[in-house]
Amino acid sequence: QDNRISIWSVGDVGNVGLSGEYQGEPQLLCDIKHNGDVMDMQFLDQERIVVASSTGTVTVFRHHQNNQTLSAKQRWEKAHYHVDQDTSCGGAACTGVICNNPEIVTVGEDGRINLFRADQKDAVRTIDNADSSTLHAVTFLRTTEILTINSIGQLKIWDFRQQRNEPSQIFSLTGDRVPLHCVDRHPNQQHIVATGGQDGMLSIWDIRQGTMPVSLLNAHEAEMWEVHFHPSNPDHLFTCSEDGSLWHWDTSAGVSEKPSFLHQGGRSTTYFSHNTINQSVVSAWLSNDPTKDRMEITNLIPNQTLSVNSLDVLGPCLVYGTDAEAIYVNRQLFA
C-alpha cells in the first residue's frame, strides 16, 4: 500500500574483505513516497530517475546529492489509461520505461507508447493503439527506433521518424503466443536482441533477418523477469526468474579459440573497449545453437526459492532484488 523510491549507497569497492564480499551494511541515503506500485525505473542521467507506476503516471525524481534528498521534478499524470485520462480510476499500469537522455519512452497495459522529453510538459509523440495486448517492456534500438514486446509473444519495431502509427517490423515466437516480459539489446550490435517470457525460455533474435528467433534456449522453470547483456562485456548475459534462479550465460569460452579476438591490439583483459569487439566475439549469440559453442551457464544463487524480480549489472558488480524484500550486491562477477 505504501511504496517508496529509495537511494542506497553500497560503499566503495576499496572496502572489500578477504573473500571479496563487501564489508558493512548498505546505507539508505534517502527515500520518497511513490503513488502506486513501482513497475520499472531507470536513471535518465546522474541525478534524475524516471519511474513507472501502476497508476499509469510517469514521474521524474531528482536526487540532490548535496543534501541527500529526493524530490519529484516532473510528472506525467496518467500517461497510460484505459478509458480516458480524466476518470478517477482510468489509469492503466505503465509497465516499462527506457531513457536516452533527454528522451523517455514509456509503454503500458493499455497498449500505448509515449515519447516524452525531459523538461517538456506534453508528450512529443503518442501512439494510442500501438498494441491490442499489454506491452511489457521497451528498449531503444537506435536514437529514432524502439522495440516493444507484448503479451502475445511479439516484438515490434517502431520508427519515430515515420508519421504513421504502425510498426515498421513485427517478429513473433511461432504459434505459442507466450507472453514476453523482458528485452535487452546487445550494447554494440544493435541487431542482436534477447527476450524472456512466461515459459522461462531465453530467445535470441537477429532483427536483420527473418521474423523468428535465431535461437531458443531452455532456461528457467518459471517466468523470466529480467534479461541483461553486460554493458561492456556482452559475451556475458544475465537472466532472473520467478523460480528463484539467476543465471549467468557466458559465451566467451566458445570464441576464445579465435586468435584475432584474443590478442587484438595486445589486449587480453576481461573488459573490451568498443573497438576491440569484432564480429567474431558476437557470433556465438547468433550461431544456431550457442550451447554447442561451449556456452557456460552458472546459477549464481543455487538455493534461492523466492522469485528474483530484477537485476542490473555494471563492471564486476551485479545487483538483484528478490521477494525476500532484500537487495543483494555481488561484486565478484568475473572472479
Q: Average pLDDT, stretch 238-246?
A: 97
Query: What are the residue boundaries of the structural domains of the chain, listed by start?
Result: 34-172, 179-253+283-334
Q: Return the pLDDT at 104.
A: 98
- Fold equal for 34-172 and 179-253+283-334: yes
Sign of CA dihedral 46, 79, 96, 11: positive
The answer to whether 80 and 56 are in contact (CB under 8 A) is yes
Cis peptide leading into 102, omega within 30 of 0? yes
Q: Mean of the pLDDT values across residues 277-306?
A: 69
Q: What is the mean pLDDT of the chain?
A: 86
- DSSP assignment of 70-130 equals EEEEEEETTSSBSS-TTSTT-B--EEEEEEETTEEEEEETTS-EEEEETT-SS-SEEETTS
Confidence tier at 14 by pLDDT (50, 70, 90)? low
Fold of 179-253+283-334: Methylamine Dehydrogenase; Chain H (2.130.10)
Rounded distance between C-alpha atoms, residue 243 and residue 202, angstroms: 14
Cβ–Cβ under 8 Å, residues 286 and 251:
no
Q: Under CATH, which architecture does the 34-172 domain have?
A: 7 Propeller (2.130)
Read off the C-alpha cell for 42.
531507470
- Closest by CA position to 149, among listed 164, 129, 133: 133
Question: Comparing 115-119, 124-128, 316-320, 327-331, which segment has the lowest mean pLDDT?
Answer: 327-331
Of the listed ranges 77-86, 203-212, 220-229, 317-326, the least confidently predicted one is 77-86
| Cβ atoms of 96 and 107 closer than 8 Å | yes
pLDDT score of 295: 82
Question: Closest Cα to residue 307, out of 222, 249, 238, 227?
Answer: 222
Query: In this model, does residue 132 exceed pLDDT 80?
Result: yes
Backbone angles phi, psi at 221, to 5 degrees: -85, -15
Provide the b/e sequence for 293-309 (b: ≥16 CB within 10 Å).
bebebeebbeebeebbe
pLDDT of residue 18: 56
pLDDT at residue 275 above 90?
A: no
CA distance 280 to 286: 10
List all residues 6 or more positions away from 16 whose beta carbon is below 8 Å from its beta carbon.
Answer: 22, 23, 331
